[in-house]
Amino acid sequence: MKDELEKIKKEALDYYKKAAIVLSDDEIKNMEIADMGLNDFQRTGLVLVVYVNNDRYCAKEMVLFPYQTCPEHRHPNHNGQDGKRETFRCRYGTVYLYIEGLKTPKPMASLPEGDESYYTVFHEIILKPGQQYTISKDTLHWFQAGKEGAVISEFSSPSDDATDVFTDPRIKRVNED
């Protein structure tokens, strides 16, 4: 298992390099490999580096491997605080982002086989390097990398992954170890 995690981390570092993103030794050491508790990382998951996450703002870098999906979820209000509002900026590759709204007739992404019922929003926004989109709080959304994978910078209000609400009840965003 440790060998597999190191392999994923090394591959993610190659993507950050393609996007010309330089990480510190601590950022590399603390890189998060999120498999969402599904143990199917190649299809569903992402790699995260958190630069800062405090009571005012958050900044992260995310890597998705080719056709990898971050599953449908939303960031609701919690503990008297507004839900997270986030801006995704594509740094490398192509990102297919899906949000609430008018369904795109022929979306580019492919749903993870067997998990189709957990995806309900299909208004497609395609992000290429240098393009960005802001997702409002409590908005259902999911995203997938294109054939070359993707690197995404996220700028947001404070992030509390434990309060994210996923459409798929099997998902565990935060490890319970």
- This prediction has a pTM of 0.95
Indicate the SS3 state at residue 3: helix
CA torsion, points 62, 82, 80, 162, in degrees to nearest 10? -20
Q: Per-residue pLDDT for the chain (177 aa), expressed as one digit of tens each? A: 789 999 999 999 999 999 999 999 999 999 999 999 999 999 999 999 999 999 999 999 999 999 999 999 999 998 888 999 999 999 999 999 999 999 999 999 999 999 999 999 999 999 999 999 999 999 999 999 999 999 999 999 999 888 999 999 999 876 554
Find out whether 58 and 50 touch, Cβ atoms under 8 Å: yes
Indicate the SS3 state at residue 163: helix
- The tokens describing 110, both together, are 């492919």
Domains and CATH numbers, the chain: 2-157 (2.60.120.10)
